[in-house]
Chain A
Amino acid sequence: MMTDYTKIDFSELETLSDDEVVTHSYVRDIPISEGRTLALITLDNGRDHTRPNTLGPKSLLEYAATLDGLRERAAAGEIHAVAVTGKPFILAAGADLSKVAEIPSREIALRMGQLGHHALGKLSEVGVPSFAFINGLALGGGLEIALNADYRTVDASTPAVALPEVFLGLIPGWGGAYLLPNLIGIENALKVVIENPLKQNRTLKAGDVLELGIADALFPSVNYLEDSIRWADGVVSGRVKVKRPNEPGKVERLVKWDAAIGIARKMLQSRIGSVPKSPYAALDLLKAAKSGTKAEGFEREDEVLADLIAGDQLQASVYAFNLVQKRAKKPAGAPDKALAKPVTKVGVLGAGYMASQFALLFVRRLQVPVVITDLDQARVDKGVAYITGEIDTLRDKGRISPDEANRLKALVHGTTDKSEFADCDWVIEAVFEELEIKQQVFAEVEQFISPEAVLATNTSSLSVEQIGAKLQHPERVVGFHFFTPVAVMPLIEVVKTSSTDDATLSTAMVTAAKLKKNAVITADTPGFVVNRLLAVLLGEAMRAVDEGTPFETVDEAMAPLGLPMAPSHLLDLVGLKVGAHVLDTHHAAFPDRFYRSENLHRLADYGKLLEKDDKGKVKGFDKGAMKIVSGGTNPSSPDEILTRLQDGLARETKLMLDDGVVSAAEDIDLCMILGAGFPFQMGGLTPYLDRVGASERVFGDTFHHPPIRGVDA
């Protein structure tokens, strides 16, 4: 027996959504040809485009009742087609996430999925052809409204269409997981449901929507609704024949389907490991969508959705999502923006690896003159050549116009004469990581610049305070710690010393925002946030290795966190030398808590940890490297290693919070998500530490009250 959605009592859901911003379903009759009528539903929550239509219980019930009414009118011969569209720029952005996180039990979670199926499914049962006019943003349940229609059109300027559920720890559970592969084929569906959400939540543009076969027709914005109505009229009257080349046929179902699922599963395992639940749940649903009825598909989605909503990972994901969406935009402890000083010219000290990268970013985002220097002309030229080369690449790819490229290149100027920094109001250094050198370059440039100009340092391990200690105006010194690759990594740790004044701090925060980076303010303590916690991780990894645990076992032991990469890969990525240096500096600062590894230095000298093929793909561990680390006699079990790591992270996090390194646990999580790619399903870090009991073990409490965990846990 399939679920009979009409027999389910949804009233409990309704009472949970007292404050729902209801998306109403308005209907107007539109005359079409031959005396027929199309009933056009407009979804509109009465707010402007900054508050997209969302689909809470009340909205869904109203939509369902509207479709019931239209079904009756269709039966009475009053209407001959039904179409649904949205308010300007927006069809709907799906379920209201804040509400999903508040669901109190698995049973209610199940109801939520069922209500979606109940309401959205009615569009295919109105008794006359049904259409969705995707006039703008259509995310998650918004797109599923459209998938439940018989036909779809899309507005050419639609900015984003997606099923982002997997990104948030959910699955497309209002029909998407069943309907989409049966509409556009399994490979395309895998891309939309799994691949894109995991690629930093990539979305589809209107052209993709048409090409993938999600929409049957695309019309320019200027006349989108008029054209869509005319097209629908054509379909109803038989003048327009709809072709769906991507719709899966027998052969695809028999041969391609399971193979595609298999490939996707392997890809997932190698990219994200097996910890995150939702991608695999989605994969299983897509696999099952190959056969069986729609009703069965919907029922499967209900159950899986209920499990996920009630679980730990969804709660952590929603928490993480809110951090990234909201907290990141209003950084804790940021002084009034009005205090920020204008930045009309940027000076860059050093033209090396980091400096060249962020000089490019400064010129692109601020569009002000950038002057860059180094020890000699050759190094300066190299840095400038890198910057102009990247600008040319952007131009050649069509990302910027030739005029824009000329403008940017003309703004970049290399020199060995520091007097040319005189009119800079923002000077940032990325010279060698040595205190004396940094002190000296700042002192030298201070002679030329105005007393108000900001001096920023990109140091990753030195004390910002000490870097500025010898200056006449240390109050204008601030840490501005980028992560590499600069163009990609969204975080900047802005380091405030005890002398940094508010104007300087505000300038740093405003500048970070103009660079389109998220800034978190940290205290001037070793490693700030990200490197300090990564030092715990690498330290515990190396400690276990040095004691005799095989590297594979260490990698395996840490896998349950679901980090983007194993410790061995992380070491390979940051470089063995840098890794050894990071451990050294933290050990020097906190000898009791941080491990330093002599073996890691040896590995760095040897130069290699992993064995790779020609394409750089990792084949395994390098034999010579394994010999170097093979001396230990006291191996640990994976469980022991994992517990040590969890406890180490909990201890260090707690200490940082007690010392006021950042304002709150949320900022630690934000740093780890944005600066180290820690996954949403961990909630960054602290929700994970709470739910695995590390917080309790280490300091007898939790970071969050109540802890962020599933409802039936």
Chain B
Amino acid sequence: MAERADVVFVDGVRTPFGKAGEKGMYWNTRADDLVVKAIVGLLERNPSAPKEQIDDVAIAATTQAGDQGLTIGRTAAILAGLPKSVPGFAIDRMCAGAMTSVAMLAGSIGYGQYRLAIGGGVEHMGHHPMGSGVDPNPRFVAERMVSEDALVMGATAERIHDRFPHLTKERADRYALGSQRKTAAAYEAGKIQQDLVPVAIRTAEGWGLATRDEVMRPETTMEGLAGLKTPFRPHGRVTAGNASGLNDGATAALLASADAAKEFGLNVKMKLVSYAFAGVDPEIMGIGPVPATEKALRLAGLKMDDIGLIEVNEAFAVQVLSLLDHYGIDDDDPRVNPWGGAIAVGHPLASSGVRLMNQLASQFAERPDVRYGITTMCVGLGQGGTMIWENPNYSRKAAKKA
């Protein structure tokens, strides 16, 4: 009989994130190749993980067609050179795709069915522009199930500003500026690079190598942000500067049961405490992290005060602010996204969840004073997802000193 198990996050990597579109560095690179490189890089870093004992490969993609189609978890496993005996599947929860793949694999590990698994996600928004090929059921509008804004993410972000007038454009811009600066500093200190796998890219000038995120703007200023257009509403608040852009990229993480990690000598970066997903009105999807976090905290028996680090996906600055506001956390609280976030590095939809985990895991290593951290994100069509993690490096002594 299989036994219930503790679930651990062994390691995670990602490709550098590119700018979507013809001018982006991955225009000539296939989406499946991106996630395959992430998986190969992950396994190379963890050579003691026996490939033939990987129980499943779950890869998320929002668009599951073309170079993201054909059951991408399975094709990526084969292309990455995993034994053909290792199965794989595709999974989708839009922006929380990779987070969902990790959560669902964790469920299987926790229930004792799996011992080792790879989760991750990929989104090539250049090859698969948002909304391409979708065919929404007319009932959504006819029966007023959701407003028309629900499918335009920027418009849903404007709605958060409507609901919480004190979350002003100025606050959103300032938050975005902070994200750029924190990411620039983290890059300077070599913190982001440690979890990047380089990707060979084909360009009109020959082969190159992607080693950094492509869209960062360390030169950002408040004045610059103030002058940007508000594409979702005339005189609106959401701009390209206080939102994440359109990106290409992939992530992969290695999960294990605690005893499998021990058996194979795998380093443990994080221990899973709880996870939860929750729904909200689709037209204001950005507040999804609030109920998801509430639920995850409840399941963990923890309070927000117990959380020392928060990695929140920055789909929109205002959506981050709504979460922080709910818990009375300052906009510039140092626990929040210490190395910046999606506003600076980008948000290739289904891949981003594991990026949050990578960064939280790396921060855990530096912060033995922190016991718990969360990764959380909002999801299109009105959802949020949160995973709570425990730091295996935690020490009371360090915590006391801090």
- Which residues of A561-583 have CB atoms within 8 Å of chain B's CB atoms? none
In the complex, the answer to whether A223 meets B37 with C-beta atoms within 8 Å is yes
Q: Which among B200, B202, B206, B209 is the interface contact of A27 at CB below 8 angstroms?
A: B206
The minimal Cβ–Cβ distance linking B104 to chain A, given in whole angstroms, is: 26
In the complex, the answer to whether A226 meets B199 with C-beta atoms within 8 Å is yes
Q: With a CB–CB cut-off of 8 A, which chain B residues contact A230?
A: 198
Residue of A nearest to B211 (CB): A31
> Residue B188 at the A interface, CB < 8 A?
no
In the complex, the answer to whether B206 meets A88 with C-beta atoms within 8 Å is no
Q: With a CB–CB cut-off of 8 A, which chain B residues contact A666?
A: none
Q: With a CB–CB cut-off of 8 A, which chain B residues contact A229?
A: 198, 200, 209
The stretch of A39-47, A436-444, A455-463, A478-486 that contacts the partner chain:
A39-47
The minimal Cβ–Cβ distance linking B289 to chain A, given in whole angstroms, is: 35
Q: Which among A27, A88, A220, A225 is the interface contact of B205 at CB below 8 angstroms?
A: A27
In the complex, the answer to whether A40 meets B37 with C-beta atoms within 8 Å is no
The minimal Cβ–Cβ distance linking A155 to chain B, given in whole angstroms, is: 12
Q: With a CB–CB cut-off of 8 A, which chain A residues contact B206?
A: 26-28, 40-42, 44
In the complex, the answer to whether A220 meets B207 with C-beta atoms within 8 Å is no
Inter-chain CA distance A220–B39, complex, in Å, is 14
> Residue B79 at the A interface, CB < 8 A?
yes
- Which residues of A180-230 have CB atoms within 8 Å of chain B's CB atoms? 220, 222-226, 229-230
In the complex, the answer to whether A26 meets B37 with C-beta atoms within 8 Å is no
Q: With a CB–CB cut-off of 8 A, which chain B residues contact A30?
A: 208-209
The minimal Cβ–Cβ distance linking A394 to chain B, given in whole angstroms, is: 23
The minimal Cβ–Cβ distance linking A149 to chain B, given in whole angstroms, is: 16
Inter-chain CA distance A44–B208, complex, in Å, is 13
> Residue B238 at the A interface, CB < 8 A?
no
Q: With a CB–CB cut-off of 8 A, which chain B residues contact A31?
A: 209, 211
> Residue A686 at the B interface, CB < 8 A?
no
Q: Mark A362-392, 1 if CB is under 8 A from B, else 0.
A: 0000000000000000000000000000000
Q: With a CB–CB cut-off of 8 A, which chain A residues contact B102?
A: none
Known contacts A31-B211, A229-B198: A222-B205 contact under CB 8 Å: no
Q: With a CB–CB cut-off of 8 A, which chain A residues contact B36?
A: 222
In the complex, the answer to whether A40 meets B208 with C-beta atoms within 8 Å is yes
Q: With a CB–CB cut-off of 8 A, which chain B residues contact A27?
A: 205-206
> Residue A695 at the B interface, CB < 8 A?
no
> Residue A315 at the B interface, CB < 8 A?
no
The minimal Cβ–Cβ distance linking A35 to chain B, given in whole angstroms, is: 12
> Residue A507 at the B interface, CB < 8 A?
no
Residue of B nearest to A41 (CB): B206
Q: Mark B196-233, 1 if CB is under 8 A from A, else 0.
A: 01111011111111010000000000000000000000
- Which residues of A316-351 have CB atoms within 8 Å of chain B's CB atoms? none
Inter-chain CA distance A40–B211, complex, in Å, is 15
Inter-chain CA distance A562–B283, complex, in Å, is 84
In the complex, the answer to whether A226 meets B200 with C-beta atoms within 8 Å is yes
Inter-chain CA distance A85–B207, complex, in Å, is 8
In the complex, the answer to whether A26 meets B205 with C-beta atoms within 8 Å is yes
Q: Mark B165-206, 1 if CB is under 8 A from A, else 0.
A: 000000000000000000000000000000001111011111
Q: Which among A28, A222, A223 is the interface contact of B207 at CB below 8 angstroms?
A: A28
Q: With a CB–CB cut-off of 8 A, which chain B residues contact A225?
A: 200, 207, 209
Q: With a CB–CB cut-off of 8 A, which chain A residues contact B198?
A: 226, 229-230
> Residue B360 at the A interface, CB < 8 A?
no
Q: Mark A24-59, 1 if CB is under 8 A from B, else 0.
A: 001110110000000011101000000000000000
Residue of A nearest to B208 (CB): A28
Residue of B nearest to A83 (CB): B207
Inter-chain CA distance A229–B37, complex, in Å, is 15
Inter-chain CA distance A220–B79, complex, in Å, is 11
Q: With a CB–CB cut-off of 8 A, which chain B residues contact A88?
A: 202
Q: With a CB–CB cut-off of 8 A, which chain B residues contact A224?
A: 200
> Residue B40 at the A interface, CB < 8 A?
yes
Q: With a CB–CB cut-off of 8 A, which chain B residues contact A222?
A: 36-37, 40, 79-81
In the complex, the answer to whether B40 meets A223 with C-beta atoms within 8 Å is yes
Inter-chain CA distance A44–B207, complex, in Å, is 10
Q: With a CB–CB cut-off of 8 A, which chain A residues contact B207?
A: 28, 40, 42, 85, 225
Inter-chain CA distance A220–B41, complex, in Å, is 13
Inter-chain CA distance A30–B208, complex, in Å, is 7
Residue of B nearest to A223 (CB): B40
Inter-chain CA distance A42–B81, complex, in Å, is 26
The minimal Cβ–Cβ distance linking A44 to chain B, given in whole angstroms, is: 6
Q: With a CB–CB cut-off of 8 A, which chain A residues contact B41?
A: 223
The minimal Cβ–Cβ distance linking B59 to chain A, given in whole angstroms, is: 15
Q: With a CB–CB cut-off of 8 A, which chain A residues contact B79?
A: 222
Q: With a CB–CB cut-off of 8 A, which chain A residues contact B202?
A: 88
The minimal Cβ–Cβ distance linking A414 to chain B, given in whole angstroms, is: 37
Q: With a CB–CB cut-off of 8 A, which chain A residues contact B203?
A: 28
Inter-chain CA distance A230–B44, complex, in Å, is 13
The minimal Cβ–Cβ distance linking B189 to chain A, given in whole angstroms, is: 16
Q: With a CB–CB cut-off of 8 A, which chain B residues contact A223?
A: 37, 40-41
The minimal Cβ–Cβ distance linking A525 to chain B, given in whole angstroms, is: 55
Inter-chain CA distance A224–B205, complex, in Å, is 19
Q: Which among B37, B80, B81 is the interface contact of A226 at CB below 8 angstroms?
A: B37
Inter-chain CA distance A85–B206, complex, in Å, is 9
Q: Mark B254-298, 1 if CB is under 8 A from A, else 0.
A: 000000000000000000000000000000000000000000000
Inter-chain CA distance A42–B36, complex, in Å, is 23
The minimal Cβ–Cβ distance linking B120 to chain A, given in whole angstroms, is: 16
Q: With a CB–CB cut-off of 8 A, which chain B residues contact A220?
A: 81
Inter-chain CA distance A44–B205, complex, in Å, is 9
Inter-chain CA distance A653–B205, complex, in Å, is 54
Q: Mark B141-157, 1 if CB is under 8 A from A, else 0.
A: 00000000000000000
The minimal Cβ–Cβ distance linking A338 to chain B, given in whole angstroms, is: 33
Inter-chain CA distance A40–B207, complex, in Å, is 7
Inter-chain CA distance A169–B199, complex, in Å, is 42
Inter-chain CA distance A220–B37, complex, in Å, is 12
Best-surrounded residue of B36, B203, B207 (most CB of chain A within 10 A): B207
Inter-chain CA distance A30–B206, complex, in Å, is 11
Q: With a CB–CB cut-off of 8 A, which chain B residues contact A42?
A: 205-207
Residue of A nearest to B212 (CB): A31
Q: With a CB–CB cut-off of 8 A, which chain A residues contact B208?
A: 28, 30, 40
The minimal Cβ–Cβ distance linking A554 to chain B, given in whole angstroms, is: 60
Best-surrounded residue of A30, A226, A229 (most CB of chain B within 10 A): A226
Inter-chain CA distance A44–B81, complex, in Å, is 28
The minimal Cβ–Cβ distance linking B73 to chain A, given in whole angstroms, is: 16
Q: Mark B69-92, 1 if CB is under 8 A from A, else 0.
A: 000000000011100000000000
In the complex, the answer to whether B205 meets A28 with C-beta atoms within 8 Å is yes
Q: With a CB–CB cut-off of 8 A, which chain B residues contact A226?
A: 37, 197-200, 209
The minimal Cβ–Cβ distance linking A37 to chain B, given in whole angstroms, is: 11
Inter-chain CA distance A230–B41, complex, in Å, is 12
Residue of B nearest to A46 (CB): B204
Inter-chain CA distance A229–B198, complex, in Å, is 10
Q: With a CB–CB cut-off of 8 A, which chain A residues contact B40?
A: 222-223
- Which residues of B16-36 have CB atoms within 8 Å of chain A's CB atoms? 36
Inter-chain CA distance A323–B64, complex, in Å, is 47
Inter-chain CA distance A222–B39, complex, in Å, is 11
Inter-chain CA distance A225–B209, complex, in Å, is 9
Q: With a CB–CB cut-off of 8 A, which chain A residues contact B200?
A: 224-226, 229
Q: With a CB–CB cut-off of 8 A, which chain A residues contact B81?
A: 220, 222
Inter-chain CA distance A40–B41, complex, in Å, is 22
Q: With a CB–CB cut-off of 8 A, which chain A residues contact B205?
A: 26-28, 42
The minimal Cβ–Cβ distance linking A10 to chain B, given in whole angstroms, is: 24
Q: With a CB–CB cut-off of 8 A, which chain A residues contact B209?
A: 28, 30-31, 40, 225-226, 229
The minimal Cβ–Cβ distance linking B206 to chain A, given in whole angstroms, is: 3
By a beta-carbon cutoff of 8 Å, the part of chain B in contact with chain A is: 36-37, 40-41, 79-81, 197-200, 202-209, 211
CB pairs A–B below 8 angstroms (6 shown)? A28-B207, A30-B209, A40-B207, A222-B81, A225-B207, A230-B198
Given contacts A26-B206, A28-B208, 8 further A-B contacts (CB under 8 A): A30-B209, A31-B211, A40-B209, A41-B206, A222-B36, A226-B200, A229-B200, A229-B209
Closest 8 CB pairs of A and B: A42-B206, A26-B206, A225-B200, A28-B208, A30-B209, A42-B207, A26-B205, A223-B40
